[in-house]
C-alpha cells in the first residue's frame, strides 16, 4: 500500500531530523513535500488493511471449538456461539440480529439460524457479504470439517467485521450474513439446499429490504492454498467485471477467473432470482481430482486446515474490501 511506504519515509526523516542541528532548507522542503504526499488520516480511514493471518488464526480457532458443524449438532451450536461472541460489541448496539426459522428438510423439521451483523454507513443502501457456517449434514458420520467449505469464510467475514468496527463504512452500510443450511440435507435440489438464504431472501422481499441491497456477495471456498476465483456465470455481469478490476487494483489478477463456472447453485441464487445484483466469490477447483475423489477435497475428509492458507485468505479479503470500495464509487 502506498501510504505505508510514504509513512515509513516520514518516520525515517523525523528520526534523522531529531538528531540535532538545524536542518538545511532543502531538507525542510523535502519534509513538507513528503507530508503533502502522505495520505491524510481520511485516506487511511478508507483503506483499512485486511489480515489474512488473522483470518487464518480465526479459522483454526473455529475448527478447534466446532470441527463438525452439521445441523442440530453440538458443533453447530458452538459455531453459532463463536460468531455471536465475536460480534458482542455489535449485539450491544442492537446491530446483531438472530433470524430463527424452521426448515422443512428430508430429515424432518430443523431449527436454523441466520445471523445478520449490521455496520451502518452514511449513504442509503446496503452491501451484503454472506457465508454459510454449517457443514454438510449427509457427511455427519465422517470427519468432515469444511475448513475451506464454511469455516474459513466464516473467519473471513468475522475479520472483515473487525475492520468495519474500527473503520465504520463511510458509504453504503455493510451487513454481514452468517447463513445456516446452505448445504443439502439429503441430496441437492431446489427444495433441499440454501435453506438460510431462501428464507432470508423471502423475508427481505416482504419487508422491503431487498430494494436497498446494492450487491449481495457470497464468500464460499475461497481459502484454498491454490486459489483461483472462478468466473461464475450465475453472478451479475457488472459485479463480475468489477471483481476483475478489484483483482487488478489489489495486485491479484493472477488469482481470478482461470476457470468458468456454469450454473452453480450457491447462496447468491435466491437473491439473484429476486433481481438483486449478486456475486459469488468461490474457487470450486479444490485439490487434485482423482478417480476416488473426482471433486478433489470438496466434501471429503480432506477439507482440513492444512489445505488452506493465510495467503489465500489475504487475497480473498483484499478482494472483498476492494469490492466494497468500488461499489461505493459506482454512480
Q: How many residues bind Zn ion (CB under 5 A)?
A: 1
Per-residue x/- track, 90-119, Zn ion (CB under 5 A): ------------------------------
The residue (of 149 and 159) whose beta carbon lies closer to Zn ion is: 149
Gap between the Cα atoms of 57 and 282, Å rounded: 20
User: Measured from the CB of residue 105, what is the shortest distance to Zn ion in angstroms?
Assistant: 16
Among positions 90, 99, 134, 149, the unique one binding Zn ion when judged by CB under 5 A: 149
Q: How far is the CB of 220 from Zn ion (least distance, A)?
A: 8
Q: What is the smallest separation between the CB atom of 183 and Zn ion, expressed in angstroms?
A: 5
Based on CB atoms, which residue is closest to Zn ion, 106 or 168? 106
Stretch that binds Zn ion, among 146-154, 170-178, 256-264, 281-289 (CB under 5 A): 146-154
Pairing mode of beta strands 96-105, 108-119: antiparallel
Q: 39 or 138, CB closer to Zn ion?
A: 138
Quote the radius of gyration of the chain (alpha carbons, Å).
22
Residue 24, all three cell numbers: 538545511
- With CB under 5 A as the contact rule, which of the stretches 25-33, 148-156, 288-296, 321-329 interacts with Zn ion? 148-156
203 within 8 A of 179, measured Cβ to Cβ: no
- Residue number, 90 or 220, with CB nearest to Zn ion: 220
- Residue number of the CB closest to Zn ion reads 149
Residue 149 or 283 with smaller CB distance to Zn ion: 149
Q: Strands of 278-282's sheet, edge to edge?
A: 96-105, 108-119, 172-179, 123-132, 213-220, 278-282
Q: Which stretch binds Zn ion (CB under 5 A): 45-53, 118-126, 147-155, 233-241?
A: 147-155
Question: Among the candidate windows 82-90, 109-117, 142-150, 309-317, which touches Zn ion by CB under 5 A?
Answer: 142-150
Query: Which residue, 149 or 224, has its beta carbon nearer to Zn ion?
Result: 149
CA torsion angle for 166, 225, 234, 322 (degrees, to 10)?
Answer: 30
Q: Are 174 and 324 in contact (CB under 8 A)?
A: yes
User: Which triple of cell numbers denotes residue 30?
Assistant: 523535502
All residues at 6 or more sequence positions from 266 whose CB lies less than 8 Å from its CB, including other chains: 182, 194, 218, 220, 232, 234, 280, 282
List all residues 6 or more positions away from 172 whose beta carbon is below 8 Å from its beta carbon: 121, 123, 124, 125, 126, 127, 214, 324, 327, 328
Nearer to Zn ion, 144 or 216 (CB): 144
Which of 220, 267, 260 is CA-nearest to residue 240?
260
Q: Is 118 helix (H, G, I), strand (E, B) or coil?
A: strand
Select the span of 55-63, 145-153, 256-264, 304-312 touching Zn ion (CB under 5 A). Answer: 145-153
Instruction: End-to-end CA distance of the chain: give it in Å, rounded.
Output: 26
Toward Zn ion, which CB reaches closer, 162 or 235? 235
Decide if residue 192 touches Zn ion (CB under 5 A): no
| CB count in 10 Å sphere of residue 238 | 13
Using CB under 5 A as the criterion, which residues of the chain lie in contact with Zn ion when the complex forms? 149
Amino acid at each position: 500500500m502506498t501510504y505505508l511506504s510514504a509513512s515509513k519515509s516520514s518516520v525515517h526523516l523525523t528520526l534523522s531530523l531529531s538528531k540535532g542541528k538545524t536542518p538545511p532548507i532543502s531538507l525542510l522542503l523535502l519534509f513538507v513535500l513528503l507530508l503533502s504526499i502522505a495520505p491524510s488520516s481520511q485516506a487511511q480511514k478508507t483503506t483499512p488493511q485486511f489480515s489474512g493471518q488473522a483470518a487464518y488464526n480465526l479459522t483454526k480457532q473455529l475448527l478447534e471449538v466446532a470441527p463438525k458443524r452439521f445441523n442440530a449438532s453440538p458443533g453447530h451450536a458452538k459455531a453459532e456461539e463463536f460468531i455471536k461472541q465475536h460480534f458482542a460489541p455489535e449485539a450491544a448496539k442492537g446491530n446483531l440480529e438472530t433470524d430463527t426459522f424452521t426448515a422443512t428438510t428430508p430429515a424432518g423439521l430443523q431449527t436454523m439460524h441466520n445471523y445478520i451483523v449490521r455496520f451502518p454507513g452514511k449513504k442509503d443502501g446496503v452491501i451484503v457479504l454472506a457465508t454459510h457456517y454449517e457443514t454438510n449434514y449427509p457427511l455427519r458420520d465422517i470427519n468432515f470439517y469444511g475448513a475451506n467449505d464454511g469455516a474459513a469464510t466464516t473467519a473471513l467475514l468475522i475479520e472483515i467485521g473487525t475492520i468495519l468496527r474500527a473503520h465504520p463504512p463511510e458509504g453504503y452500510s455493510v451487513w454481514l450474513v452468517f447463513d445456516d443450511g446452505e448445504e443439502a440435507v439429503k441430496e441437492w435440489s431446489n427444495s433441499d439446499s440454501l435453506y438460510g438464504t431462501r428464507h432470508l431472501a423471502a423475508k427481505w422481499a416482504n419487508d422491503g429490504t431487498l430494494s436497498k441491497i446494492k450487491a449481495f456477495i457470497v464468500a464460499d471456498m475461497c481459502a484454498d492454498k491454490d486459489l483461483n476465483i472462478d468466473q461464475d456465470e450465475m453472478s451479475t455481469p457488472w459485479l463480475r467485471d468489477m471483481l476483475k478490476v478489484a483483482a487488478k487494483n489489489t495486485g491479484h489478477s493472477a488469482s481470478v477467473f482461470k476457470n468458468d463456472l456454469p450454473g452453480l447453485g450457491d447462496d447468491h441464487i435466491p437473491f439473484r432470482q429476486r433481481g438483486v445484483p449478486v456475486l459469488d466469490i468461490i474457487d470450486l477447483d479444490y485439490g487434485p481430482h482423482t478417480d476416488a475423489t473426482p471433486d478433489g477435497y470438496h466434501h471429503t475428509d480432506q477439507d482440513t486446515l492444512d489445505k488452506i492458507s493465510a495467503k489465500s485468505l489475504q487475497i480473498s479479503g483484499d478482494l472483498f474490501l476492494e469490492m466494497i470500495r468500488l461499489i461505493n464509487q459506482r454512480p
